[in-house]
A and B are shown apart, each in its own frame.
Chain A
Amino acid sequence: MIEAFLLAMRQLRTKKVRTLLILLGISVGVAAVVGVTSLGEGIRVNAVGEIEKSHDLTLIEVSPGVSNGNIILITESKVRAVSEYGSVVAPYTKDDYVTLNKTYFKANGISAQYMDAKDLKLEAGMWLEEGTYQIVLGSDIGEKFSKIEGAEIGNTIDARIRLYGEEGRATDKDITFMIVGRLKPTGTDTDDQAFMDMNIARELTGKDVYDGIMVKLDKSSQTPAARTAIEKLGLTCYSAQDEIDSVNRIMNAVTLVLAFFSSISLIVGGLMIINTMIVSVYERTHEIGITKAIGASELDIIRMFLSECIIIGVLGGILGDLLGVMFSFLIDSVGRPMLVAQLGIADFEHLTVINIQILAAGFLISLVISVIAGIYPAWRAAKLDPVKALRQL
């Protein structure tokens, strides 16, 4: 087999220019696919990186679930069941309040564990004291209060909550909160929330269930298993992994479409190989006749031509990968500053990402196309009539 390749190699060497042109043809196609795929992969990696930066992957947010049309509420027993799966398990309540100036805000009734789980950090002021009507504000809502209500840390603010009785009748309750602290901005919905003591919140609303649970794990690798277990309890889970998954799904689809269009150039490369091989069979008709007369089987002839195609595929794949890396580098060095300047998005390290899978795919595509393109010419060579072939000079 090795010898078949050596003989094929020699055959290709005798037609250097032609071989070089085919190699270029196929490798340009491979380079286009590799470059475009690296762009798709780069965008995906950057998007996932952004999500990972702003989200905690070890956190699962549990909310009430729906099963067979019934709402599964988060009761004390559910909290106890969930607490088996996380290192920190913090149930909380969430209610809508409105100030007298009609500023709506959400207040979460939380415990100390919640602060741990969400890793909340104060920017100013201090933490709320349990059993009091003190609140800590997220950065956005804090700014809103300061601008609209003129309420700063240390001030009180009057708010109203609307409660619905069992018959659906609404009653309003007025509360006066004391603002004691403001959180650092996080870029998440925490910025729009206010935080108060959970027991006070439940006392105000009279709720005997929770609106959610924050489950914090030690390692992000534990997230999927914990999540599956909690979902088995009938509750709904959300984690940053959901967003990563959806980014991956979208980008895979986009990359696939882009790669499909760029692979049109591969078809051209494949046709070039078919054409060149047919010409080569024609030129070597006489030689094929001799080869058959001295004992080559049809399979030997097919092997002879396919070996040449495999060599073209391998070399084309390597060259294509090299050109693809260069193409990818070009996209990165030209495209990145342009995107940063035009979209004004924060600078990121690379626009394109090359990984071993992309290179392996490029290599394989080249090999497969070369071999497929060689099948018909090889078959034609094998089927040549030796008498006619020998007569041709």
Chain B
Amino acid sequence: MIAGEFDLSIGSLIGFSSMSITLLTIEANMPMPLASILTLIMTIFIGYCNGLTVVKSGLPSFIITLGSLFIIRGLTIAITKLITGRTQISGIDESSGYDFMHSIFSSNIKIADVDFPISIFWWLLFVFLGYFMLNQTQIGNWVFATGASKESSKLMGIPIRKIKVSLFMLTAFCAWFIAVIQVTTFNGADVLRGEQKEFISIIAAVIGGTLLTGGYGSIIGVMIGALIFGIVKQGIIFAGVDADWFQVFMGVMLVSAVLVNGRFKKKYIHEF
């Protein structure tokens, strides 16, 4: 989003990846790590196609990835039904290599007698990597510039096409990563996995201060946005409020965040 593009297809990419890993492992009898790597290659390739289509056509990524959202979700459901006749597959824990994958992606780590899912540490690692890339490297500067002004970036010799395509590949990679965690946590896959994740990720980014117009945002902000989302989602149940109100609250948060972000941008730089 900072580079000025949306990827709406990540939700269905999560579904695709988790199903692909499960099918390759259970139906094709592959060791799970191998299935995961093959899936990773496919997923990143889809991300590459997304990016290429956006860059070549010059159309808004919003529309392009909305299309791929449905294509990928539809294909995942259709192919899974074709092969297995079902939409949910479980029992991946009996296949070879599962224990290894499980220990990396969804075991628990005990700190002071409390179990923490390992995914928390992955999350923190990705936050750190993202922060480092965006704020401390040349590529990061190019990402900001690409989102803020395509024309200016081009004039200064920044390879905006490469940047955009790589970022689509990166979001695809992230979708794959979530898929692996989900497969190992839930011991299988469901074709509908990852549904609405595309909206959640945008909500987290916007609440975290990312501008819808691109060019501004921070990883730490997005992390806090995701945290707020998670806290509210869990907290609303503990608070004894009917969980239906969660969606209302999130919607209100989103709209107010967009308004506030726009205001700040105007204040920060008076002319634009």
A and B associate: no
Give B residues with C-beta under 8 Å from A: none
